[in-house]
Structure 1
């Protein structure tokens, strides 16, 4: 049986996609990312960009703190988005911040 170019490319794309899933590389799904307007996010002052944290309202914030280096972040520090133990299946921005930040 001879494989056509189209079949080869289709199989290649399926194989690469499967490899990404199996290797743990996750692309952020916009429907699964935490929104700043989510009630749980608002309860802890979550911001997708830590540089936009209201420092008067959240005096515990310090420069350099972000979700990517928080102990609750379930991704790698180099991931753009990752899981957080606070928000279940929702992913947070690694450059984000919330009042539950912990580096312990």
Structure 2
């Protein structure tokens, strides 16, 4: 099968745009982000979105608490993900929350 230059350019453009889109989607989460299904995360009720905390299960949760303003968070408040002293090399979402939250 002989391919034309036009066909090659169209296929190349499609592949290039697919790669660019996949890089954008991958950049949306940290490469070593902590998963809510991680056993250590489950022990402390970690959730990536503090607005979804089960308030019946975690009555110590208060509105406005998030990883970004927790004293254990090792990133800047403006970072989407950052380190946490509880989870070693794993990155937590700044908008997340867990029962170890402290603001001291």
Q: Same fold judged by TM-score > 0.5?
A: yes
Alignment partner, residue 43 of structure 1: 43
Across the aligned residues of Structure 1 and Structure 2, the Cα RMSD in angstroms comes to 1.4
What are structure 2's unaligned runs of at least 5 residues?
A: 1-26
Alignment partner, residue 54 of structure 1: 54
Paired residues, number: 78
3-state DSSP class of the match of 2:82? strand
What are structure 1's unaligned runs of at least 5 residues?
A: 1-26
Alignment partner, residue 23 of structure 1: none
Q: 1:78 to 1:30 in 2, by over 3 A?
A: closer
Task: Describe the superposition over 1:34-69 as per-residue Cα deviations: whole angstroms up to 9, x where unpaired.
Answer: 000000000000000000000000000000000000
Distance 1:53 1:37 in 2: 15
Distance 1:45 1:31 in 2: 21
TM-score (norm 2): 0.72
Distance 2:75 2:90 in 1: 12
Alignment partner, residue 17 of structure 1: none
Alignment partner, residue 17 of structure 2: none
- Which stretches of structure 1, 4 residues or more, deviate above 2 A after TM superposition? 27-31
Say which one has the larger Rg.
2
